[in-house]
Structure 1
Amino acid sequence: MNTGLPDGWTIERVRSASGDPEAALLSLERLVVVEVHGLADYVLLQPAVILSFHDLCLVRADDDWFMGQLDDDGSVICWASYGSDLDEAIRGL
């Protein structure tokens, strides 16, 4: 299975780095948006990977990792880019 994770990363490594033994890859079949300061509407993201850490998510889109929250309807609303390095984005959790 192609997880879309960066080279050298597995879900087990994500769990270890995050300290969350329940971290999981989520289906890409959901609405993913990012709030952009100064814009009234959300910006649609095309995710390559969605990692779930309970209610928080990291979404990889356009080679950046976005922090967001999983909504009750399954959509993800992101509020910031944490850069292109997954390890650094995980530390931002």
Structure 2
Amino acid sequence: MNTNLPDGWTIERVRSVSGDAEAEALTLERLVVVGRPDAILSFHDLCLARADGEWYMGQLDTDGSLV
């Protein structure tokens, strides 16, 4: 499980702030178009990926890749 959230953040805090009780941290073993992420969060149909200190928004493809 991915635990590389920014300092001071937990998945529970992400859920609380986002209002999405089902938000989850995803594993990093997937293709992500922006490069090599160090954190991936899932919010139903949307995902956030952090790579090189920047956050990107995308969706999971049927093969599990993030585009």
In which range does the TM-score fall when normalised by the shorter chain?
Answer: over 0.9
Total equivalences in the alignment: 67
Aligned residue in 2 for 1:4: 4
The amino acid of 1:74's aligned partner reads G
Question: How high is the TM-score relative to the length of structure 2?
Answer: 0.94
Alignment gaps of 5+ in structure 2: none
Aligned residue among 69, 72, 81 for 2:62: 72
Identity %: 75
Alignment of 1:19-30 (within 5 A): 19-30=19-30
* 2:47 alignment partner in structure 1: 57
Tell me the TM-score normalized by structure 1: 0.68
Which runs of no fewer than 5 residues in structure 1 stay unpaired? 35-44, 78-93
Specify which structure has the higher proportion of strand.
Answer: 1
Give the deviation of 1:27 after TM superposition.
0.6
Q: Which structure: larger Rg?
A: 1
